[in-house]
Structure formats: C-alpha cells, structure tokens
Amino acid sequence: MATDYVHGYSAGETARLADQATSLTALLHAGTRYPAGSRVLEAGCAVGAQTVILAANSPRASFVSLDLSAASLAEARQRVARAALANVSFCQGDIYRLPFPPGHFDHIFVSFVLEHLPDPAAALAALQGVLRPGGSITAIEGDHGSAYFHPDDARARRAVQCLIELQARAGGDSLIGRRLYPLLVQAGYRDVTVSPRMVYVDASRPDLVDGFTRKTFTAMVEGVGGQAVGQGLMDAADWAAGLAGLHRAAEDDGTFCYTFFKAEARR
C-alpha cells in the first residue's frame, strides 16, 4: 500500500530531516538502548537520520532498516557508511507486507512513519507479526495539533491547520502523537506506556529557537506553502502573514511549544 509523503523528497527536505534528528536526539532517543546481540527492525528509516543515532547508541545490536523508497535507502546507506557503522543492513520493502519470518525481531523502532500511513493500525499489526513474543516496540511521533506559540496568531494557527489538512488529504494523520496509546492497545500490544516529550522554546534557548522553531517546525509549514495556496486552503497573503506569525514566535519575546510522543509496548 503506497502513500503520498506530504513533505516530499527534495534535497532541502533531506537537510531538514537531518537537522531535526540532530537537535532532537537527546529528547527523543533518551532511554532507547538495545542489548548486545539483539535484532532490531527500524521500520521506515527514510534517509537514515535516526538510523545513525540508533546504531551508534546500541553498537552491539544488529539493525535492519527498512524503507519503501530506494532513493531514501541509498541516502541512508551513505549516511551509515560515513558514520562508519557496521551494525546496520538495509532492506527495501513495504511496512504492510514485511519480508521477514514471524517473530524474527527482538525489538522494533518506528519513528515519524505512522503519521504518513493511511492505516497505521494495520502497520502495527504487521509489525507485531515479525516481533517475537515479549519483544518491544518503540514508536515516536509528533503531533502538529500540539503546536502553539506566543504571540498567539490566528493566521499562523490556520497555516498549521493547512499542514494537518494536507497530511490528511495525503492519507496520513499528523495528530497521531496523542493517538499512539489507543492505537497500540487496539493492535494488541501490552504494557503500553506513552511519554510525551515536549519542546518548549523561549529566548533563553537560542539553539532551539533556531534549530526547532525556525528550522524544524516553521520550515516544515513553509514547505507545504505551494500546496496550501495551490489547493485553495489559504490565499497567498494570509499564508504569508501566517508564516510571519510563526517567525514572530522566534523573536526575543516569543515562545513556541510542540510535543512529541514516545510510546513503548511489548508483544
């Protein structure tokens, strides 16, 4: 089952995904370490931005990083080679029809993937099939409806809503962070725990103002401007004002909030 990928596959987008993984590493990867000898599936590795973090953090575990896109896999392979990591192999494949034997993996890591899928419940069920009984799944997702900022700005909120709407039109759900708990429970996983990881940004944290408010979130909204205006969700002037509102939140008296959700569960 293929799906559009709302953020596209441009070089700029590749840089954004890498920026995002770097600045959020501590927040999202804290606590994720796999034991020596364990087999880990990274489902949906994209360009490998998180692959290198996973593999470096658990050097004695063996990773299989899967993606549907051959171009993304080529990028990921280069990134892993540059990082001189020898514990990752790659596999082109579909998360709904995984090319592995039942119960093959000890652990599964799936991050920023479920939001893009038309049927995340089916994906979680498929993943469960290749997880051994007692094995763990870790799922990380954002939630674009968790974004708010000071000064509050109606057009900036509408621009964010456009991103949410475009992702929905592409078959995804960018409000999926808040939904991880029921999704995992309904898919039959047990011991489900969800830990929100909130990014709060004010002028005392200039690295986050630049790395997150501007270069991660605002850049992501900016990236769908053509589609938002082209599909008539907002007119060009309102869109520009909305973007200005997001940039306004990155000024010295602005603040910005966004929450990621990290879920862990067992088969």
Binding residues for a copy of itself, per CB under 8 A?
143, 145-146, 148-150, 152, 175, 178-179, 181-182, 185-186, 192-196, 198, 200, 202-204, 252-255, 257, 259
Partners of 230 in the β-ladder = none
Nearest to 200 by CA among 149, 256, 251: 256
CA distances (Å), origin 190, targets 93, 121, 128: 26, 15, 11
Amino acid at 246: L
9 vs 200, beta carbon nearer a copy of itself = 200
**In terms of CB distance, is 92 or 193 closer to a copy of itself?**
193
Is the CB of residue 16 less than 8 Å from the CB of residue 183? no
- Name the residue nearer to a copy of itself (CB basis): 64 or 164: 164
Q: Of the two residues 60 and 190, which places its CB atom closer to a copy of itself in the complex?
A: 190
Q: What is the closest distance, in whole angstroms, from the C-beta atom of residue 154 to a copy of itself in the complex?
A: 11
Check if the beta carbon of residue 98 is closer than 8 Å to that of residue 92.
no
From the list 212, 227, 232, the residue with the least C-alpha distance to 163 is 227
SS3 130: coil
Q: Are strands 88-92 and 148-150 parallel, antiparallel or unpaired?
A: unpaired
Alpha-carbon distance of 96 to 261, in angstroms, equals 22
Compute the least distance from the CB of residue 124 to a copy of itself, in Å.
14
Tokens 């200005």 belong to which residue?
Answer: 244
- Cα separation, 152 vs 103, whole angstroms: 48
Give 70 or 203: the residue with its C-beta nearer to a copy of itself: 203
The token duo for 127 is: 């993943």
What distance separates the 2 farthest-apart alpha carbons in the chain?
A: 56
Residue with Cβ nearer a copy of itself (88 or 201): 201
Please give the Cα distance from 32 to 45 (Å, whole number).
Answer: 16
| Cβ closest to a copy of itself, residue 37 vs residue 204 | 204
Residue 106 CB, nearest approach to a copy of itself (Å): 24
Rounded to a whole number of angstroms, the minimum distance from the CB of residue 56 to a copy of itself is 29
Q: Least distance (Å) from a copy of itself to the CB of residue 145? A: 5
Closest separation in Å from C-beta 179 to a copy of itself: 5
CB of 229 to a copy of itself, least distance (A): 23
